[in-house]
Amino acid sequence: MHANPTLREHIRAQAENRPGVYQMFGAGDELLYVGKSVHVRTRVLSYFRAEPGEKAWELIRATQRIDFEYIPNEFYALIREMKLIQQWQPRFNVQHKRKRIYAFVKVTSEPAARVLPVTRIADDRATYYGPFPRVRAVANTVRELATALGLRDCPATTPVFFDDQLEMFAGGRVPHCIRADLKNCLAPCCGRPTEHAYRKAVDLAHRFLEGRAEVPLATLEVQMNEASTRMDFEYAALLRDRLGRLRNFADELVAFRGAVEDLTFVYRVPGFGGDDRLYLIRHGRIRKQLAHPKGRRAREGVARAIDHVYGDLDTGPAGLSPQEAAEIMLVARWFRLHPKERRRTLTPKKWLAEKLPA
């Protein structure tokens, strides 16, 4: 079976050589594939030259209809392609098809809070840090952090008590896990810490995850030196390794947070046929796109949008969907691979000063 010659003639007659996204549909209007190109017509016609047995040949043989969505520039075509693939999961796509799992570090809002690695954000009053691309590495480091600070990692259903909590029958409580016996958990399961002491350890976890890791790491270093002084060298070596892993993660936290926060600007992108666009990007997410203004009134409209996008309080990653996390990673990758594009960006304040001078 050969590719539909009528479809090829339709592409030749109708498709344009401009940036955009194309969608290839099969029987029953099934979306088979989503692609993007800066030259849509040339790219789509290349499928008709594929040899039997190649993936492109199999795809075009199954295709009955091709739709085009022209986008003024490659940057947003890349974003649009990712969103369509994640939404519809076309069977011929590979890249972006699997909703990539990102890791977050969650500090719960429980009376005796836990620090947990998670891959989803819930509306549960917890504090989330992330996203991070290396799920397993984050999970391992979170365990190290909980151990270093003595925070519990037991199930949410485990009853917790504090030493300064007034109870009728507080005596005789026993630890629920071996971590309490090993003294690397403050053990609120058996009422050992005061509420203040446990909360102080949770505050240290927040400091670490916010990039202020000095106190948690210094605490661990003191413990390591004390173990060495009493010649408990095996435990000192364990603490040394733990300290090294936490230092590496602290560096990664600072670097990643800085990279994402640095992706906050107004980005002007030249477009096909003079259709230039402005993308209002905040912490790696495209919050709004606008036509590049060409008059005073249009610039005032952009100024209002800038005030709305950058003026609102940013609540961090709360409510961030996997697709939004993927967008952050994609935007970060774009500027990493195209460093000269940063020359087209301005901070919101500088854009306003240049385009709407007093």
Question: Do 341 and 289 reside in the same domain of the chain?
Answer: yes
Predicted local distance difference test score (pLDDT) of residue 246 = 83
Question: Do 244 and 122 reside in the same domain of the chain?
Answer: yes
Gap between the Cα atoms of 31 and 171, Å rounded: 65
Question: Do 163 and 213 reside in the same domain of the chain?
Answer: yes
What average pLDDT does the structure give for the chain?
Answer: 87
Examine residue 95 and state whether it is found in any structural domain, yes or no. Answer: no
- Domain ends where: 88, 120, 153? 88
Residue 99: its H or E element: none
Gap between the Cα atoms of 339 and 333, Å rounded: 10
How far from 156 is each of 143, 177, 189, 343, CA to CA, in Å?
A: 16, 14, 11, 49
Q: What is the pLDDT of residues 317-329, one digit of tens each?
A: 555 677 787 888 8
**Domain encompassing residue 295:** 262-355
- Domain ends where: 62, 88, 114? 88
Examine residue 178 and state whether it is found in any structural domain, yes or no. Answer: yes
Examine residue 232 and state whether it is found in any structural domain, yes or no. Answer: yes
- Confidence band for 171, pLDDT divided at 50, 70 and 90: low
Question: Do 189 and 113 reside in the same domain of the chain?
Answer: yes
Question: Do 161 and 242 reside in the same domain of the chain?
Answer: yes
Examine residue 144 and state whether it is found in any structural domain, yes or no. Answer: yes
Question: Do 79 and 107 reside in the same domain of the chain?
Answer: no
pTM of model > 0.85:
no
Burial of 168: CB neighbours in 10 Å, binned 0-12, 13-18, 19+:
exposed
Q: 40-64 in b/e burial notation, b at 16+ Cβ within 10 A?
A: bbebbbebbebeeeeebbebbebbe
| Residue 272 in this model has a pLDDT that exceeds 90 | yes
Q: What is the pLDDT of residues 344-357, one digit of tens each?
A: 999 999 999 999 88
| Residue 133 in this model has a pLDDT that exceeds 80 | no
